[in-house]
Amino acid sequence: MAKVTLPDGSILETADGTAAKQLAEQIGQGLTKAAIAARVNGQLVDLSTPVNGDVAVQIITLKDNQGLEIMRHSCAHIMAEAICSIWPDAKLVYGPIVEDGFYYDIDLDESIRPADFERIEKKMREIIKADKPFIRKEMSRDEALTKLASDKYKTDNIKHADSDVISFYSHGDDFEDLCRGPHLPSTGRVGSFKIMSVAGAYWHGDPTQKMLQRVYGTAWPTQKELDEYLRRLEEAKKRDHRVLGKQLDLFSFNKAGPGFAFIHAKGMIIWNAIVDFWRSVHDKYGYQQIQTPIILNEELWHRSGHWDNYKENMYFTDIDGTGYAIKPMNCPGLCLVYKTRQHSYREFPMRVAELGLVHRHEASGVMHGLFRVRQFTQDDAHIFCTPEQIEAEIIGVIELTFEIYRAFGFEDFRIELSTKPQKHIGSDEIWDTATNALKDALAHKTIEYKINEGDGAFYGPKIDFHIRDCLKRSWQLGTIQLDFSMPQRFGLVYTDKDNTEKTPVMIHRAVLGSFERFIGILIEHYGGNLPLWLTPEQVRVLAISEKSNDYAQIVLHKLKDAQLRCSMDLSNEKIGAKIAKAHSKKLSYMLVIGPKEAQSNTVNVRIRGDKETKTVQIDEFITIAKRKIVDKNIDLTF
Ligand SMILES: [Zn+2]
Ligand SMILES: [Zn+2]
C-alpha cells in the first residue's frame, strides 16, 4: 500500500506501483487534465512514474515554474527531432532550458539560418500534432556507453551524468535521445513556441573544440502568453540602455578599454544622486565608510584565497619588480584595516561600507553594455559580529535592502537562500547556527523564500535578492553571505566578555551589486524616463519668443536657487521645435513661458508623458517639484 501525502497535508492511500498520473485522476478531473509531471519526495519525475510506500507527491502543471520548464525542455527535444529529420547528419549535443526558453547545441556542417526557422517550426508542429508519448527507457551506464560508443557528445554526457541508471526518451517509436528527464506525457502538451535565434557556441565553451550551432527557442502555455513575451522583447529593444545611454549622453564605451565604462557628466548626475541616497541610508543604519586601495600585492591574494580560487578572473601588474593584483573584491583590504588596531566585543556589530572599485575579467563575448563589464563599483559592506548577533544583523540588512529597492520604485522582490555545499569549510555547528540565523531572520520578516540546497559558497551560506523590472525580467542585485573562512585566514580577532580572543563572524553584503549594472537596469526599467530625483535635467525653461527672455532668466534663477537641475532654451527656434528637442532628452518638466506668464508670475508646465499642460505660480511649481524629489516620487503629475 502506498501512503501518499499531498501538498495540502491530506493523505491518499493507493496500491503500490500506482502511477503519478492515476493519483491526479483520484484527486480531481481538473488536475488530471492539467497534470504534466510530478514531484515525488522532492524530485521531479514523469507522470508515468509509479509511487511506492510513504511518499510526498505534488502534481505539477504548467502553472508551476517547474512545469513550464519541463514543457520548454520537452520542446527542445521536439526541435531536435525536427532538425534531425531535416538534416539527418545533425549530431545532438546538449539541450537545456534557459530563462524563458531553451536551446539545443547541434553539430552540423551546414549552417542553420534564420530562413530555416519556419521549416523547422513546421516540422515541430507536425510532431506536436501527432501527440506522440514521451517514453522513458533505462539502462546501466555500461550498456548506455556501448549503445552510444560512436557518439562522442552523448558519451561525454553519460560520463557527466550523476546517476548510474542512464535514461533515454523516445517520442513514440521515431526519435530517441539520451536525457535524464522528466518530460511532458506527450508532444501534444506543448503550448505555443517559436524558434528565436541561432548562434555559434564551442563545445564545453572551449575555443579549441569544434564550433557548434546553438538554436534558441521559447515556449509558453498559450499563444497569448507567447505574444505577450514577444511584445516584451520588442519593448526591451526600445529600452536598450546602450541605445538610451547614447541618446541621453549618459555613458559610452571605447575600444581603448573594452568592458570599462566611461560615465559622462549626465550619467554622473544619476550616479551621484544614487551615492547621496545610498550614503544617507547607510548612515541611518549605523554604517561607517572606508576606502581601500585598488592594487595590492600578490601575497595578500594568496592569503585571502583569491589566488587559488579566483585567479582566472583577476588582472595583474608589476611594481618595482614585485607582483601585484588589481582587486576583484574589497574584503581583503578591509581585513587589513581591521587589523590596524585591537577590537572588543563592545564595538560589535561593526558595520563597514565601501564603494569599492573592482576589476573582474569577463570573456569578450559576454560583455554587454553596463550589464556585464570588467570594472565596476560595488556597493559593498561587511559586518563583524558575534554568532549571537547574526540574526539581528541579517534583519537589519534585509530592512535596509528593501528600503533602498523601494526608493527606486522596485516593489517586486524574490529571495533565495543557499545552504551548505558538499565542499565546505567550517564545522557543522557553525553552518547550522548561521543557516538557522538566516532562516529565522527571513521568518521574522515573514518573507517567503526559495531554498537552493547545497548552493552556498564553500565559506558560508547566503541569501540572494532578486528584483523584477517592468518587463518582468528578474535581476539578482543584493546578496548577504556569511563567511567562516576569511577572518581565520587573516587572523582577525576580538576580545570577548570573558577576556579571551575570539574570531569574529564576517558578513559580506551588497544591495545594488554594481553601480554600473544597476544604472543600466534603471534606464531599461524606466525606458530612460527616470524619476525626478534621478533625472539629470529636471526642468527646462522654454521661451515662446525673445520678448520673454528676461522673464525666462528670472524663472531660471529661481529654479537654480531652489537647487533644481535646470537649463533654458532661448534659441530662435519655434516653440514646437524647442519642445520636441526637450522631449527627446526625456527631461521631467518643461516650463513654457510667454508674455501672459511673465505678467502673472506663472509658468505653463508640460509634464513628461502628459498631454495636458498646467499653468501655476512659479513658486508653487518649485514647492511641488522639491517635495517630489524629497519623497522620491515616481509620479510627475500634480
Ligand atoms: Zn530531455
Ligand atoms: Zn566581501
CA distances from 543 to 257, 553, 562, 608, 617 (A): 42, 10, 20, 18, 16
Which residues are catalytic, by number? 331, 360, 378, 380, 382, 462, 508
Cα–Cα distance, 245 to 577 (Å, whole number): 23
Kindly report the number of other CB atoms within 10 A of residue 203's CB atom: 18
- Residue whose C-alpha is closest to residue 128's, from 224, 205, 60, 217: 217
Residue 446's pLDDT band, with cuts at 50, 70 and 90, is confident
Residue 493 has pLDDT above 90, yes or no: yes
- For 575, the grid coordinates are 516653440
Sign of CA dihedral 450, 452, 453, 456: negative
Cα–Cα distance, 532 to 538 (Å, whole number): 6
Kindly report the number of other CB atoms within 10 A of residue 204's CB atom: 12
Q: What is the mean pLDDT of residues 321-341?
A: 97
Residue 188 has pLDDT above 80, yes or no: yes
pLDDT one-digit tens code per residue, 228-241:
999 999 988 999 99
Q: Helix (H, G, I), strand (E, B), or coil: what is residue 624?
A: helix
Nearest ligand (C-alpha, residue 180)? 1
Nearest ligand (C-alpha, residue 331)? 2
Nearest ligand (C-alpha, residue 97)? 1
Strands (E) in 302-438, as ranges, are 315-319, 322-326, 350-359, 375-385, 413-418
Give distance in angstroms: CA of 139 to centre of ligand 1: 16
Contacts (Cβ under 8 Å, ≥6 apart) of 127: 78, 81, 82, 171, 187
pLDDT one-digit tens code per residue, 604-628:
999 998 989 999 999 999 999 999 9
Give distance in angstroms: CA of 272 to centre of ligand 1: 49
Q: What pLDDT, on a 0 to 100 scale, did the predictor assign at position 565?
A: 98
Q: What pLDDT, on a 0 to 100 scale, did the predictor assign at position 242?
A: 96
- Residue whose C-alpha is closest to residue 185's, from 63, 61, 76, 29: 61
- Residue whose C-alpha is closest to residue 442's, from 498, 398, 403: 398
Cα–Cα distance, 203 to 92 (Å, whole number): 11
Give distance in angstroms: CA of 380 to centre of ligand 2: 7
pLDDT one-digit tens code per residue, 332-372:
999 999 999 999 999 999 999 999 999 999 988 788 999 99
Nearest-5° angle of CA 583, CA 589, CA 594? Answer: 90
Nearest ligand (C-alpha, residue 334)? 2
**What is the enclosing helix (H) or strand (E) of 517?**
helix 515-525
Nearest ligand (C-alpha, residue 72)? 1
pLDDT one-digit tens code per residue, 255-290:
999 999 999 999 999 999 999 999 999 999 999 999
Residue 133's pLDDT band, with cuts at 50, 70 and 90, is very high
Residue 587 CA, chain-centre distance (Å), reads 28
Nearest-5° angle of CA 276, CA 278, CA 283? Answer: 95
Q: What pLDDT, on a 0 to 100 scale, did the predictor assign at position 266?
A: 97
Residue 314's pLDDT band, with cuts at 50, 70 and 90, is very high
- Give the rounded percent of residues in the chain with a pLDDT score beyond 70: 100
Give distance in angstroms: CA of 181 to centre of ligand 1: 5
Pairing label, strands 43-46, 37-40: antiparallel
Q: What pLDDT, on a 0 to 100 scale, did the predictor assign at position 244?
A: 96
Residue 422 has pLDDT above 90, yes or no: no
Nearest ligand (C-alpha, residue 330)? 2
Nearest ligand (C-alpha, residue 76)? 1
- Residue whose C-alpha is closest to residue 625's, from 594, 587, 584: 587
**What is the spatial order of strands in the sheet that 134-140 belongs to?**
134-140, 165-171, 175-178
- For 401, the grid coordinates are 535592502
Q: What pLDDT, on a 0 to 100 scale, did the predictor assign at position 533?
A: 98
Give distance in angstroms: CA of 401 to centre of ligand 2: 17
Residue 301's pLDDT band, with cuts at 50, 70 and 90, is very high
- For 370, the grid coordinates are 553596463
Q: What pLDDT, on a 0 to 100 scale, did the predictor assign at position 45?
A: 95
- Residue whose C-alpha is closest to residue 182's, from 62, 55, 73, 92: 73
Give distance in angstroms: CA of 231 to centre of ligand 1: 28
Give distance in angstroms: CA of 382 to centre of ligand 2: 6
**For residues 601-616, b (16+ Cβ closer than 10 Å) or e, as one string?**
ebbbbbbbeeeeeeeb
Residue 172 has pLDDT above 80, yes or no: no
Q: What pLDDT, on a 0 to 100 scale, did the predictor assign at position 363?
A: 86
Q: What is the mean pLDDT of residues 409-430?
A: 88
Cα–Cα distance, 333 to 258 (Å, whole number): 26
Residue 500's pLDDT band, with cuts at 50, 70 and 90, is very high
- Give the rounded percent of residues in the chain with a pLDDT score beyond 90: 80
pLDDT one-digit tens code per residue, 524-566:
999 999 999 999 999 999 999 999 999 999 999 999 999 999 9
Give distance in angstroms: CA of 506 to centre of ligand 2: 9
- For 299, the grid coordinates are 601575497
Give distance in angstroms: CA of 72 to centre of ligand 1: 10
Residue 382 has pLDDT above 80, yes or no: yes
Cα–Cα distance, 520 to 396 (Å, whole number): 27
Q: Pick the more confident residue, 164 or 525.
A: 525
User: Dihedral, CA atoms, 417, 420, 423, 426, nearest 10 degrees?
Assistant: 120
Residue 160's pLDDT band, with cuts at 50, 70 and 90, is confident
Give distance in angstroms: CA of 461 to centre of ligand 2: 13
pTM metric for this prediction: 0.81
Q: What is the mean pLDDT of residues 296-307?
A: 93
Q: What is the mean pLDDT of the chain?
A: 94
43 class by beta-carbon count within 10 Å (0-12 exposed, 13-18 middle, 19+ buried): exposed
Q: What pLDDT, on a 0 to 100 scale, did the predictor assign at position 2?
A: 86
Peptide bond into 182 cis (omega under 30): yes
Q: What pLDDT, on a 0 to 100 scale, did the predictor assign at position 471?
A: 87
- Residue whose C-alpha is closest to residue 67's, from 115, 31, 120, 91: 31
Residue 47 one-letter amino acid: L
Give distance in angstroms: CA of 372 to centre of ligand 2: 20
Give distance in angstroms: CA of 176 to centre of ligand 1: 10
Give distance in angstroms: CA of 333 to centre of ligand 2: 10
Question: Which DSSP symbol is given to 111?
Answer: P
